[in-house]
């Protein structure tokens, strides 16, 4: 699954930079700079929901088999501390997600560095960072929903997750999150806390 996501990330990048190259050839670099700077066009909008999808899929693929086959219950009763088991499992899943995002983000920055001035690169970073944070948050929220033992609470968690993730996608205007970018990881922390809450409920066998 991770390899599939990596392949999709690569293909998406190839597509985005081919599209940009085409714009450079047809309209010229000066025109492309002009529409980015003065008409607030954003060239990487197609990237918008990829991190969200990648985070959600990683969470689902990691935890759904564990839940369906009741392996999580067994895992939490291994001769290791519950904290350690959960930390290792989440560290693996989130680590893979973050690595995938870092790889894609680094490739994006490298491409931008060649063609654009720092001001445009900074604006792009402010625009795409919330999307990557949404992906990481989606991973934790998905995990929390999967681990949560009661369907009623799963529904509540799902609604809360939609609300929290929506915050990352309120505006598509370039660099709209500039003023609150430093505070957005707090939403990811809320995502992590929901996982801890779900694990506690799972461990104590809460049914409601």
Partner 1 sequence: MLLAWFLPWIYKLITADNQSYPFTYFSCINKSFCYLDMRGEEIMRMDAKGRVYTEAEFDSILPMFYYRQLIKDDRLPDSINNVAISPRQISTHSFFFRYRPADMNTPGIKLYPLFESMGKRVDLKMPGDVFRFNNAIEFINPENNKVLAEKSMQFNKPFIKRDFAFPPRLVAGNPSIRKAYDEGWFIIDQHYRVFHMKMVNGMPFVKDTRIDSSLQTKYIATTEYPSKLFYGFLFDNHNQLYVISTENYKLIPVPTPAFSMQTDEMLIMGNMFYWNIEVTSDKGQTTCVVDVNTFKKSDSISFPAAFTGPAVQKWIFPFTLSFTSPTHKYVMPRIEVFGFGYLISGIMFAAVYYILYRKKIRSFNAFLYLTWIALTGIFGFISLITINPLKQLS
Burial string for 86-110 (b: 16+ CB within 10 Å, else e) reads beebbeebbebbbebbeebbebbee
Do residues 5 and 58 make contact, with C-beta atoms less than 8 angstroms apart?
yes
Among 3, 25, 38, 79, binds partner 1 (CB under 8 A): 38
Within 10 angstroms of residue 205's Cβ, the number of other Cβ atoms is: 8
Residue-level length of the chain = 208
Residue 10, both tokens: 């690569």
Q: Compute the least distance from the CB of residue 147 to partner 1, in Å.
A: 17
Does position 31 bind partner 1 by CB under 8 A? yes
Does position 114 bind partner 1 by CB under 8 A? yes
Nearer to partner 1, 33 or 103 (CB): 33
Does position 138 bind partner 1 by CB under 8 A? no
Phi/psi of residue 175, each to 5°?
60, 25
> Which string of x and - marks every residue 149-188 that binds partner 1 (by CB under 8 A)?
-------x---x--xx--x--xx-xxxxxxxx--------
Binding site for partner 1 (CB under 8 A): 29-34, 36-38, 114-117, 119-120, 123, 126, 156, 160, 163-164, 167, 170-171, 173-180, 208
């Amino acid at each position: 699954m991770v390899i599939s996501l990596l392949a999709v990330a690569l293909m998406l990048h190839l597509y985005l930079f081919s599209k940009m190259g085409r714009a450079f050839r047809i309209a010229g670099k000066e025109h492309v700079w002009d529409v980015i700077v003065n008409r607030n066009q954003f060239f990487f909008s197609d990237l918008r929901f990829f991190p969200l999808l990648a985070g959600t899929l990683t969470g689902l693929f990691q935890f759904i088999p564990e839940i369906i086959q009741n392996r999580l219950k067994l895992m939490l009763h291994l001769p290791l501390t519950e904290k350690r088991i959960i930390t290792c499992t989440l560290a693996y899943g989130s680590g893979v997600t973050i690595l995938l995002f870092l790889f894609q983000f680094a490739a994006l920055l490298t491409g931008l560095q060649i063609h654009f001035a720092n001001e445009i690169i900074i604006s792009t970073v402010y625009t795409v960072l919330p999307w990557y944070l949404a992906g990481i948050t989606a991973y934790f929220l998905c995990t929390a929903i999967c681990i949560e033992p009661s369907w009623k609470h799963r529904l509540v968690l799902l609604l809360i997750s939609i609300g929290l993730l929506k915050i990352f996608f309120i505006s598509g205007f370039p660099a709209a999150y500039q003023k609150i970018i430093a505070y957005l990881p707090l939403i990811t922390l809320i995502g992590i806390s929901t996982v801890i809450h779900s694990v506690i409920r799972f461990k104590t066998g809460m049914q409601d």
